[in-house]
């Protein structure tokens, strides 16, 4: 935790705030005019004449002026535009002038900003706010207070943008005297109920260790955000009132405010003060997502749910977005079982490693003398939605990439299949992004379709659809007697579109006695940009596929008899009535790893 230190107010006594109109009115007394460096930019007559004689196009449209200012990348560019604005008389437009002030302040060129501000004939609340906030942000609190004092004297009403800046300045300087006088200004102008102003006051009083004053303001706030809660929780913890810190934290969670890392650290610190580490554990569990995984021999699949864990009761509760049953979430919707994870502290990631069991006969396993392989290790993390996991092959796999082939903007009409040549198709890494112009041709989704695998088996890759099926034909023979299609199919439900990812092994081999399922999973993805991505790792008898950046993963074990070694081919295809474009495709031949 940061320790608060009291600091002296670095201006002379006659520059302090003083009351003018009774105890509820405050203003700032005279302050010396800031002494700025000589390089303050003010366009001279010679400079203006040079610009008038140049070929620079005049700035006469306020929108063009504002756009140019916002596009500036350096103070030098801002000064050039400043000169052009003077030449064209555009600084008479207060919107343009304020935007110029803002851009100077944004680039921390406060000398230039003040020189311009000092010469402005017209000012409004925005003008004052930019200057007060700009000096406060660069740590020049004396000048910030001086401009705020001038604002009050000019009869301008401070707003909920200006006041938090000067209040936070008082907080950073732990200057309670000045802070209380500004609080009086807040009361005078009726801004004490404003959320942003009140939150800043709570923060100031808490940092100045006036906890009761901060709490009174906090309790009177009409609404409280996470920052306000965190300030009060941290203030109680810092002042060794750990019990009240914990009470506030519980109240915050009851009101539905989700704690961030700062809030959790504050309350854990309070728990440490109380010696209540069991409470700290419970607090941490409240704000961490847990995952419960089960590997069932009955199905040979890894199921999981996302939820919360109550450490006190030793009870796990799945979220209502996680289906706890046969149609629930899986790590992988294909040949993937008995997985384990471990944490890699060097790269701060969790690695998932699973077993890709065989789909051939026991007799075949006996003949070759082994059965089952480990799938490619995957980095696994929680999706930002908090509803599911996302998986992706570990980055180290990229070092096995060899010869590369790149394709872009390949249009696929209904029935098209285009071969991707130049790589070893039996051992490859393929990444592709598909786009489609419309979704109105999507097939109607039957609400009875709850099992993705059944839908894939029913529809397949050969049956024409609306938007899809489209994707890859992996481990394909030259004349497509054998191929393992990995593809998307899009359906239209009443309130949303449903995306299906399939890896269909039914056409994978001419061999007999093989288990050739139609593996599939639904993909929870937003189709606003009308794009879908697919990555497939192809390794002779294994096709590992990652849909929509790893939201849905499918591993298939296949045993081609024709599409082997150099006779294997790779295609992109579309069997939907809607044209699909392969926006970007990268494919690599994959080298075999070397074990030292």
Instruction: State the DSSP string of 235-285.
Output: HHHHTT-HHHHHHHHHHHHHTTPPP-HHHHHHHHHHHHHHT-HHHHHHHHH
pLDDT reading at 506 higher than 90: yes
From 7-21, 294-308, 383-397, the region with the lowest mean pLDDT: 7-21
Average pLDDT of span 504-517: 93
* pLDDT reported for residue 473: 98
Please report the pLDDT score of residue 282 as a whole number: 62
What is the β-pairing status of strands 337-344 and 349-356? antiparallel
Q: Is a pLDDT exceeding 90 seen at residue 363?
A: no
Task: Answer yes or no: is pLDDT of 286 > 70.
Answer: no
- pLDDT band at residue 172, thresholds of 50, 70 and 90? confident
Flag whether pLDDT at 14 surpasses 50.
Answer: no
Q: Which two tokens stand for residue 486?
A: 């990995």
Give the model's confidence band at 413: pLDDT under 50 very low, under 70 low, under 90 confident, else very high: very high
| Average pLDDT of every residue of the chain | 84
* Residues whose CB is less than 8 angstroms from the CB of residue 198 and which lie 6 or more positions away in sequence, other chains included: 192, 217, 220, 221
The residue ranking higher by pLDDT, 369 or 574, is 574
18: part of which helix (H) or strand (E)? strand 17-19
Q: Dihedral of the CA atoms 109, 113, 114, 117 (nearest 10)?
A: 180
Name all contacts of 489-493 with Cβ < 8 Å and 24+ positions apart: 489/443, 489/456, 489/459, 489/465, 489/576, 490/436, 490/439, 490/442, 490/443, 490/466, 490/527, 491/442, 491/443, 491/444, 491/445, 492/439, 492/442, 492/443, 492/444, 492/445, 493/445, 493/447
pLDDT at 138 over 70: yes
Query: What average pLDDT does range 499-511 have in this prediction?
Result: 96
Structure tokens at 109: 């060129």
**Residue 66 contacts residue 96 (beta carbons within 8 Å):** yes
Interior CA angle at 40 toward 38 and 46, to 5°?
Answer: 95
206: which 2 tokens? 């808490």
By mean pLDDT, which of 47-61, 78-92, 103-117, 328-342 is the weakest? 47-61
For the segment 555-572, the average pLDDT, to the nearest whole number, is 96
pLDDT above 90 (res 30): no
List the single range of 31-40, 139-148, 490-499 with lowest mean pLDDT.
Answer: 31-40
User: Across residues 347-355, what is the average pLDDT?
Assistant: 94
> Which stretch of 194-198, 340-344, 386-390, 553-557 has the lowest confidence by average pLDDT?
194-198
Nearest to 179 by CA among 194, 162, 164: 164
H or E segment and range at residue 87: helix 75-87
For the beta carbon of residue 287, count every other beta carbon within 10 angstroms: 16
Segment of 3-12, 102-111, 480-489 carrying the highest mean pLDDT: 480-489
The three-class DSSP label of residue 221 is coil
Q: Are 103 and 78 in contact (CB under 8 A)?
A: yes
Q: Which range, 140-149, 205-214, 283-292, 455-464, has the best average confidence (pLDDT)?
A: 455-464
Classified as helix, coil or strand, 45 is helix
pTM: 0.61
DSSP 8-state class, residue 576: B
Condensed to tens digits (0 to 9), the pLDDT of residues 515-531 reads 899 999 999 999 999 99
Of residues 515 and 236, more confidently modeled: 515
- Is pLDDT at 355 greater than 50 in this prediction? yes
Give pLDDT, residue 48. 46
Question: Average pLDDT for residues 203-208, to the nearest whole number?
Answer: 86
Burial class for 192, CB neighbours closer than 10 Å (0-12, 13-18, 19+): middle
What domains can be seen in the chain, in order of their start residue? 13-216 (1.25.40), 401-590 (2.60.120.560)
Q: Higher pLDDT residue, 236 or 20?
A: 236
Query: Predicted confidence band at 287 (pLDDT cuts at 50, 70, 90)?
Result: low
- Is the distance from CB of 538 to CB of 428 less than 8 angstroms? yes
Q: Is the dihedral of CA 255, 256, 261, 262 positive or negative?
A: negative
Contact 85, 56 (CB under 8 A): no
pLDDT band at 285 (very low <50, low <70, confident <90, very high): low
Is the model's pLDDT at 358 over the cut of 90?
no
* 396-422 mean pLDDT: 97
What is the pLDDT, as a whole number, of residue 593? 86
User: Is pLDDT of 124 > 60?
Assistant: yes
Higher pLDDT, 370 or 538: 538
Number of Cβ atoms within 10 Å of the Cβ of 119: 9
41 pLDDT tier (thresholds 50, 70, 90)? low
Is the pLDDT score of 274 beyond 80? Answer: no
Instruction: Look at strands 443-444 and 484-492 and give their pairing.
Output: parallel
* Distance of alpha carbon 169 from alpha carbon 172, whole angstroms: 5
Query: Which helix H or strand E contains 228, and what residues bound it?
Result: helix 226-238
How many whole angstroms separate alpha carbon 430 and alpha carbon 585? 7
């Amino acid at each position: 935790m940061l320790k608060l230190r009291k600091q002296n107010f670095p201006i002379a006594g006659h520059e302090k705030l003083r009351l003018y109109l009774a105890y509820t009115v405050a203003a700032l007394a005279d302050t010396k005019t800031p002494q700025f460096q000589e390089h303050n930019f003010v366009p001279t007559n010679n400079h203006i004449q040079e610009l008038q004689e140049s070929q620079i196009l005049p700035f006469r449209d306020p929108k063009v002026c504002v756009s140019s200012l916002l596009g500036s990348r350096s103070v030098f560019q801002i000064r050039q535009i400043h000169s052009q604005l003077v030449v064209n008389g555009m600084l008479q437009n207060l919107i343009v002038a304020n935007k110029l002030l803002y851009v100077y302040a944004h680039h921390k060129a406060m000398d230039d900003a003040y020189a311009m501000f000092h010469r402005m004939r017209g000012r409004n609340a925005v003008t004052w706010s930019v200057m007060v906030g700009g000096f406060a942000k660069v740590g020049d609190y004396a000048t910030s207070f001086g401009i705020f004092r001038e604002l009050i004297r000019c009869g301008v009403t401070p707003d909920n943008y200006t006041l938090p800046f000067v209040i936070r300045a008082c907080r950073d300087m732990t200057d309670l005297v000045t802070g209380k006088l500004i609080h009086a200004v807040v009361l005078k102008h009726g801004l004490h109920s404003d959320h942003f102003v009140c939150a800043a006051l709570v923060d100031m009083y808490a940092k100045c260790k006036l906890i009761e004053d901060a709490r009174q303001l906090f309790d009177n706030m009409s609404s409280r955000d996470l920052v306000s809660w965190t300030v009060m929780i941290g203030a109680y913890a810092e002042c060794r009132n750990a019990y009240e810190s914990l009470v506030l934290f519980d109240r915050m969670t009851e009101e539905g405010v989700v704690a961030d890392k700062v809030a959790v650290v504050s309350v854990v610190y309070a728990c440490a003060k109380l010696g209540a580490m069991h409470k700290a554990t419970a607090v941490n569990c409240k704000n961490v997502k847990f995952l419960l995984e089960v590997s069932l021999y009955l199905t040979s699949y890894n199921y999981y749910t996302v939820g919360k864990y109550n450490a006190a009761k030793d009870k796990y509760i799945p979220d209502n977005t996680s289906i706890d049953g046969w149609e629930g979430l899986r790590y992988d919707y294909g040949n993937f079982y008995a997985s384990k994870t471990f944490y890699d502290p060097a790269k701060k990631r969790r690695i998932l490693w699973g077993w890709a069991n065989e789909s051939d006969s026991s007799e075949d396993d006996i003949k070759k003398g082994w059965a089952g392989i480990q799938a490619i290790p995957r980095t696994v993390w929680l999706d930002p939605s908090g509803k599911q996991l996302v998986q992706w092959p570990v980055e180290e796999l990229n070092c096995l990439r060899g010869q590369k082939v790149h394709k872009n903007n390949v249009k696929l009409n209904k029935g098209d299949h285009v071969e991707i040549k130049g790589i070893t198709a039996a051992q490859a890494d393929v990444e592709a992004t598909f786009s489609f112009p419309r979704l109105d041709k999507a097939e109607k989704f039957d609400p009875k379709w709850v099992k993705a695998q059944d839908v894939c088996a029913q529809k397949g890759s050969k049956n024409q659809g609306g938007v899809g099926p489209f994707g890859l034909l992996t481990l394909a023979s030259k004349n497509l007697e054998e191929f393992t299609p990995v593809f998307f199919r899009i359906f239209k439900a009443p309130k949303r579109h449903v995306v299906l990812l399939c890896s269909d092994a039914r056409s994978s081999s001419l061999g007999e006695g093989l288990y050739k399922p139609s593996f599939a999973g639904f993909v929870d993805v937003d189709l606003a940009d009308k794009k879908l991505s697919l990555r497939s790792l192809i390794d002779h008898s294994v096709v590992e596929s990652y849909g929509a950046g790893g939201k849905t993963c499918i591993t298939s074990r296949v045993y081609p008899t024709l599409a082997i070694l150099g006779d294997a081919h790779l295609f992109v295809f579309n069997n939907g009535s809607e044209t699909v474009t392969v926006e970007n495709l990268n494919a690599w031949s994959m080298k075999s790893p070397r074990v030292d």
